[in-house]
C-alpha cells in the first residue's frame, strides 16, 4: 500500500478518535440536563426498573445526588467543566500526529497507554467510590474502544516507516 493511502487512513482514525474524545468530554458540561433525560427514560418508575432494577436504581441514585449537589454545592460542577477541558487538551495533543504521524508516533502510543490505564483506574477507584460493577465496565469500555483506532493508526504508521526504510535501502 502506498504511503499516501496509509497516511490518509491514519488521519481518518485520528480524527475519529479526536472527535470522540472532544464529544465525550463535552458531555460532562450539561450533566444535570443529561441525567434528567436518563432518569426519565431508565430511572426508577420506568420500564428499566422491571428489566434491570440495579441500573434503574443506580440512575435514580445518581440523579438524586446530582440534584442535591446542584442545589447545595453548585461549584462542584466546576470539576465537570475541567473534565471537559482536559478532554479537549488531550485531543489537541493529537494535532502533531495529524500533521506528521511518523514524527509524532509517540503521541499515538501515549494515547494507547492512557486507554489501557482507564481500566485499572475504573476497577480500582470504582469500588472505592461505590460505583457498581456494571458502571465500571462502561467506564472501561472508553479505554477498550479508544485503543482500537489508535492501535490501527500505530500499525499504519509502522507500515509507513517500513516503506520509507525500504525505499532508502533500494536507493543505496
pTM comes to 0.89
Q: pLDDT value at position 105?
A: 98
Query: Length of the chain, please?
Result: 172
How much is the average pLDDT of 95-108?
Answer: 97
Judge contact between 88 and 25, C-beta under 8 A: yes
Joined together, the cell numbers standing for residue 96 give 502533531
Helix (H), strand (E), coil (C) string for 9-34: HHHHHHHHHHHHHHHHHHCCCCHHHH
Note down the domain range covering 15.
3-166
Q: pLDDT value at position 171?
A: 63
Q: What is the pLDDT of residues 69-98, one digit of tens each?
A: 999 999 999 999 999 999 999 999 999 999
Q: Is residue 171 part of a domain?
A: no
Rounded to 5°, the CA angle 49-52-53 comes to 50
Q: What is the pLDDT of residues 123-143, one digit of tens each?
A: 999 999 999 999 999 999 999
How much is the average pLDDT of 42-51?
Answer: 94
Q: Is residue 49 part of a domain?
A: yes
In terms of phi and psi (left: phi > 0; alpha: psi -120 to 50; beta: otherwise), the region of 45 is: left
Q: Is residue 31 part of a domain?
A: yes
Q: Rounded to 10 degrees, what is the CA torsion of 124, 107, 96, 103?
A: 180
Q: pLDDT value at position 79?
A: 95
Q: Is residue 77 part of a domain?
A: yes
Q: Is residue 63 part of a domain?
A: yes
- Local confidence band at 170 (pLDDT 50, 70, 90 cut-offs): low
Q: pLDDT value at position 62?
A: 97
Residue 169 scores a pLDDT above 80: no
Q: Rounded to 10 degrees, what is the CA torsion of 144, 149, 154, 159?
A: 130
CA distance 25 to 27: 5
Q: Is residue 130 part of a domain?
A: yes
Q: How many CB atoms lie within 10 A of CB 166?
A: 10
- Local confidence band at 165 (pLDDT 50, 70, 90 cut-offs): confident
Residue 172 scores a pLDDT above 70: no
- Local confidence band at 68 (pLDDT 50, 70, 90 cut-offs): very high
Q: pLDDT value at position 41?
A: 95
Q: Is residue 172 part of a domain?
A: no
Q: Is residue 90 part of a domain?
A: yes
Report how many domains make up the chain: 1
Sign of the dihedral defined by the CA atoms of residues 159, 12, 152, 86, in that order: positive
Average of per-residue pLDDT values in the chain: 95
Amino acid at each position: 500500500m502506498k504511503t499516501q493511502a496509509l497516511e490518509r487512513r491514519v488521519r481518518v482514525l485520528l480524527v475519529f478518535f479526536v472527535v470522540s474524545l472532544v464529544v465525550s468530554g463535552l458531555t460532562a458540561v450539561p450533566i444535570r440536563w443529561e441525567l434528567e433525560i436518563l432518569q426519565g427514560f431508565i430511572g426508577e418508575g420506568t420500564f428499566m426498573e422491571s428489566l434491570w432494577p440495579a441500573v434503574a436504581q443506580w440512575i435514580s441514585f445518581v440523579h438524586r445526588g446530582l440534584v442535591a449537589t446542584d442545589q447545595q454545592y453548585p461549584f462542584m460542577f466546576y470539576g465537570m467543566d475541567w473534565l471537559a477541558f482536559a478532554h479537549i487538551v488531550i485531543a489537541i495533543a493529537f494535532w502533531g500526529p495529524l500533521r506528521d504521524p511518523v514524527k509524532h508516533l509517540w503521541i499515538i502510543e501515549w494515547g494507547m497507554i492512557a486507554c489501557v490505564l482507564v481500566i485499572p483506574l475504573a476497577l480500582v477507584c470504582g469500588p472505592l467510590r461505590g460505583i457498581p460493577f456494571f458502571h465500571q465496565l462502561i467506564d472501561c469500555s472508553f479505554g477498550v474502544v479508544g485503543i482500537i483506532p489508535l492501535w490501527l493508526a500505530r500499525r499504519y504508521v509502522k507500515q509507513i516507516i517500513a516503506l520509507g526504510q525500504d525505499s532508502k535501502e533500494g536507493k543505496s
